[in-house]
Amino acid sequence: MSASHTDTSSGTPPDTVTARLEAVRRSILESCAAGGRDPGAVTLVAVSKTHPAEAVEEALAAGQRVFGENRVQEAKAKFPALRERFPDLELHLIGPLQTNKVKDAVALFDVIQTVDRPRLAEALADEMARSGRRPRCLIEVNTGEEPQKAGIPPAELDAFLAACRGTWNLPVAGLMCIPPVDEEPAMHFALLADMARRAGLPEVSMGMSGDYETAIRFGATHVRVGTAIFGARPYPAAGPAAGPTAGPTAG
């Protein structure tokens, strides 16, 4: 959690998915009002990784429709049944994608937020051509230029984006980033939003439980919020806090 995290839970902390979701929605509205943002331009992606389908169902019952998962296998086990009952559900892949899982990912997800290397872009293009399904793609940018982290370095974004559009004809809609855990996220959010604007890309995915209010101020169109909605994860998931330099829960 960043030191600048705004604590919006002024009374007893909410302890159900419904109540926490409500609190996050309120806080998003407040951040939009404070930053002069249109609330309709900010999508809450509820990150349900490691949580059971029952937790997702509770969020669905409370009106949430956009979800994020970071593993193809886990999403495949949880979501097809839910999707039958909620056809307007939208599923985002927010974790690293191996090329041998591209077929499943294209079949399952509506948005792939983690396009991070040429080999993956090419594999996605091949599978989209084969299947006819074209999930929206976001390019993951390694704004902190961390060697252990996935993502395109900022200096290589223009060339990679040109290839995604030209060579591979991918439906690229925006950019996403996961700032370094030990840095103030604001500068990374500002950088990502600026890169998206210059590239003419409408979607900017940034901000997690600890910093989504800041991300909204800097122009996020998608915030990826897990813990603040579903509570602490029952077991560590691969993700931004699980890199070789951080412990499983980053403190």
Ligand X SMILES: *Cc1c(COP(=O)(O)O)cnc(C)c1O
Cβ proximity to ligand X, 207 vs 219, nearer residue: 207
Which parts of 23-82 interact with ligand X (CB under 6 A)?
Answer: 47, 49, 70
From the list 35-43, 120-128, 163-171, 202-210, the region that binds ligand X by CB under 6 A is: 202-210
Question: CA angle, 148 as apex, 142 and 187 as ends, to 5°?
Answer: 35
DSSP character for 114? Answer: E
Residues in the chain: 251
When binding is defined by CB under 6 A, the residue of 161, 208, 215, 220 that contacts ligand X is 208
Residues 117 and 164 sit within 8 Å (Cβ to Cβ)? no
From the list 8-16, 118-126, 193-201, 207-215, the region that binds ligand X by CB under 6 A is: 207-215
Task: Work out how close the CB of 166 gets to ligand X at its nearest, in angstroms, rounded to a whole number.
Answer: 27
Q: At what angle do helices 157-165 and 185-199 cross, to 10 degrees?
A: 40
Task: Work out how close the CB of 114 gets to ligand X at its nearest, in angstroms, rounded to a whole number.
Answer: 8
The Cα–Cα gap between 110 and 139 comes to 15
From the list 103-111, 144-152, 153-161, 223-231, the region that binds ligand X by CB under 6 A is: 223-231
Element (H, E) at 199: helix 185-199
What are the phi and psi torsion angles at 12 (to 5°)? -70, 140
Tell me how many residues contact ligand X (CB under 6 A). 16
DSSP character for 16? Answer: S
When binding is defined by CB under 6 A, the residue of 157, 178, 192, 204 that contacts ligand X is 178
> Which residues contact ligand X by CB under 6 A?
47, 49, 70, 94-95, 178, 208-210, 224-228, 239-240
